[in-house]
Chain A
Amino acid sequence: AQKITQTQPGMFVQEKEAVTLDCTYDTSDQSYGLFWYKQPSSGEMIFLIYQGSYDEQNATEGRYSLNFQKARKSANLVISASQLGDSAMYFCAMREAYFKAAGNKLTFGGGTRVLVKP
Chain B
Amino acid sequence: ETGVTQTPRHLVMGMTNKKSLKCEQHLGHNAMYWYKQSAKKPLELMFVYSLEERVENNSVPSRFSPECPNSSHLFLHLHTLQPEDSALYLCASSQAGVNYGYTFGSGTRLTVV
Using a CB–CB distance below 8 Å, which chain A residues touch chain B?
Answer: 4, 33, 35, 37, 42-47, 50, 52, 91, 93, 95, 98-111
Within 8 A of A (CB), among B46-71: 48-51, 55-56
Q: How far is the CA of A99 from the CA of B94 in the complex (A)?
A: 13
Complex-state Cα separation, A111 to B105, whole angstroms: 18
Give the residue among A37, A105, A110 with the most B Cβ atoms within 10 A.
A105
Given A44-B2, A91-B43: A99 and B101 within 8 A (CB)?
no
Once A33-B99, A50-B100 are accepted as A-B contacts, the answer to whether A45 and B55 lie under 8 Å apart by CB is: no
> Which residues in A have their C-beta under 8 angstroms from that of B50?
99, 102-103
Closest 7 CB pairs of A and B: A102-B50, A45-B104, A103-B50, A44-B106, A103-B31, A43-B107, A108-B43
Q: List 14 A-B contacts (CB under 8 A).
A: A33-B99, A35-B101, A45-B102, A50-B100, A95-B99, A99-B55, A99-B97, A102-B31, A102-B96, A103-B96, A105-B56, A106-B45, A107-B45, A108-B42
Interfacial chain B residues near A95, Cβ < 8 Å: 99, 101
Within 8 Å of chain A (Cβ to Cβ): is B90? yes
* Shortest beta-carbon distance from B49 to chain A in Å: 8
Chain A CB within 8 A of B76 CB = no
Q: How far is the CA of A107 from the CA of B98 in the complex (A)?
A: 16
Q: Once the chains are docked, how many angstroms separate the CA of A111 from the CA of B50?
A: 27
**Set B96, B105, B109: member contacting A99, Cβ < 8 A:** B96
Contact with A along B22-40 (1 / 0, CB 8 A): 0000000011010000000
Q: Is the CB of B103 closer than 8 A to any CB of chain A?
A: yes
- Assess A103 versus B48: contact at CB under 8 Å? Given A44-B2, A108-B42: yes
A44 touches B97 (CB 8 A): no
Given contacts A43-B107, A50-B99, 5 further A-B contacts (CB under 8 A): A33-B99, A45-B104, A47-B104, A99-B96, A106-B45
Contact between B102 and A47 (Cβ–Cβ < 8 Å)? yes
CB-based contact A103/B100 at 8 Å: no
